[in-house]
């Protein structure tokens, strides 16, 4: 074993960073044995130096992150500060000064991963980011390495624990959205401002990363269609149960049937109870992968939190340190297919549409005519009426999203349609 330690700079020491530092210290001997050389925490960059950080020597704490990554003797930089800047500048500076990077920064990778890949390649360094998607679940490396010889056609998953916790509570307790959100907040699953989670921004960033890896093409955050789940109601869950389904906020990345384009989207969807993702409870994450040769695979586990995310970071740290010792590099960006990302309107899916209509003869015929005029085939219809009002639930066959959207707009113009109570896609069939 080499005796000279590999030096690690840690950028950020919050929930995840503090766990990374703790594990590096308490498991130092095991990490050294697995890597083939000891690892040494050479500095920790923070914004608030006066905050008490147990187990980290005061002399390692600095507020000058740029100076830390420019030291010249740093082998690996671990970036867990998040956001776009200064993270992007610090990561590219680390590459320029001979350090590889382990990052958990989903937002930066989704928005400008190409810049980071290019800088890593230019300077002969590694960029690893297992912790950016689905916490402790091994997912990025299986997609980049284990399935590198296969053709991946679809990646569909629950990649945000907060939203899954909320929807799970609504499903199993009958609670409304606000009540379930309050419980998630009280238990620490939801932030004080949960917008990034419940409006799908967090999941969309992860979808961009997954699509890029799975389909060997560049997919940015702006390419991902996004819908939040704040409008999901207890009535939607009741309708889902009548269909033998539940509701999940899904990140879905697909290769077109002709192989000439890809799509990436995040939205709530009904999925059959028989689908493996339907049984994912509480704040857990799970990702379902469909490939030509491997078939169907599912990756499941805790998708957030200090310890799970730190586990993914440390796994990357071990891999990058091994590469350093062997003077080798792991996989870089694979974007050779250069496939275009199709708009949501081209996506073929099913819809569950709940309408409030007048309870009188001819309404169903009018509604059916609108679907036919837009080329959308109806699978099932349920109608209930009382005192001159009725509810009409239509489930369609698969059709382009643009055709379904046009159908809904036309339905809103019918005099007999009082309102569209809910619209939801049906997936996983």
Give the whole-angstrom CA distance, residue 178 versus residue 174.
Answer: 12
Choose, from 106, 169, 206, 324, the residue flagged as catalytic.
206
Give the whole-angstrom CA distance, residue 394 versus residue 371.
Answer: 10
Identify which of 187, 146, 142 has the alpha carbon closest to the alpha carbon of residue 168: 187
C-alpha dist (Å) from residue 414 to 345, 353, 372, 410, 421: 23, 15, 15, 7, 15
Interior angle at CA 46, CA 44 and CA 49, nearest 5: 100
Please spell the DSSP secondary structure of 113-169, one letter per residue. Answer: HHHHHHHHHHTT--EE-GGGSSTTS--HHIIIIITTTS-EEEEEEE--HHHHHHHHH
Beta-bridged to residue 262, according to DSSP, are: 255, 341
Give the whole-angstrom CA distance, residue 197 versus residue 359.
Answer: 39
The distance from CA 305 to its chain's CA centroid, rounded to whole angstroms, is 15
Q: Buried b vs exposed e over 46-77: b needs ≥16 C-beta within 10 Å?
A: beeeeeebeebeeebbeeebeebbbeeebbbb
Q: Is 206 considered catalytic here?
A: yes
Q: What is the largest CA-CA distance in the chain?
A: 85
Residue positions annotated with a catalytic role: 206
């Amino acid at each position: 074993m080499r005796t000279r330690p590999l030096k690690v700079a840690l950028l950020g020491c919050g929930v995840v960073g503090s766990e990374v530092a703790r594990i590096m210290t308490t498991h130092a001997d095991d990490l050294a044995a697995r890597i083939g050389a000891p690892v040494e925490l050479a500095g920790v960059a923070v914004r608030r130096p006066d905050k008490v950080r147990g187990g980290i020597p005061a002399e390692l704490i600095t507020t000058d992150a740029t100076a830390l990554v420019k030291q010249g003797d740093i082998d690996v930089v671990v970036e867990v500060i998040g956001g776009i800047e200064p993270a992007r500048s610090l990561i590219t500076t680390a590459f320029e000064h001979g350090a590889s990077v382990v990052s958990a920064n989903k937002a930066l990778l989704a928005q400008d991963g190409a810049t980071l890949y290019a800088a890593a390649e230019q300077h002969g360094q590694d960029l690893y980011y297992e912790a950016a998607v689905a916490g402790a679940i091994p997912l990025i490396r299986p997609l980049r390495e284990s399935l590198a010889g296969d053709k991946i056609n679809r990646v569909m998953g629950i990649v945000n624990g907060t939203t899954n916790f909320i929807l799970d509570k609504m499903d199993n307790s009958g609670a409304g959205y606000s009540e379930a959100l309050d419980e998630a907040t009280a238990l620490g699953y939801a932030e004080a401002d949960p917008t990034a989670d419940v409006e799908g921004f967090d999941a969309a960033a992860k979808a961009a990363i997954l699509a890029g890896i799975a389909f060997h093409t560049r997919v940015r955050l702006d390419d991902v269609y996004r819908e939040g789940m704040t409008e999901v109601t207890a009535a939607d869950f009741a309708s889902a149960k009548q269909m033998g389904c539940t509701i999940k906020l899904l990140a879905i990345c697909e290769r077109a049937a002709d192989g000439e384009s890809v799509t990436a989207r995040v939205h709530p969807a009904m999925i059959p109870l028989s689908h493996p993702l339907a049984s994912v409870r509480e704040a857990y994450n799970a990702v379902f992968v469909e490939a030509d040769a491997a078939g169907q695979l599912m990756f499941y586990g805790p998708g957030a939190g200090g310890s799970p995310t730190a586990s993914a970071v440390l796994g990357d740290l071990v891999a990058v340190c091994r590469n350093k010792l062997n003077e080798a590099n792991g996989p870089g960006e694979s974007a050779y297919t250069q496939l275009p990302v199709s708009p949501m309107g081209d996506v073929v899916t099913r819809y569950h549409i709940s309408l409030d209509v007048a309870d009188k003869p001819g309404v169903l015929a009018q509604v059916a005519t609108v679907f036919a005029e837009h080329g959308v085939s109806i699978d099932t219809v349920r109608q209930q009426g009382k005192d001159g009002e009725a509810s009409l639930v239509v489930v369609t066959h698969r059709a382009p999203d643009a055709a379904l959207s046009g159908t809904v707009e036309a339905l809103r113009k019918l005099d007999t349609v009082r309102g569209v109570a809910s619209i939801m896609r049906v997936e996983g069939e």
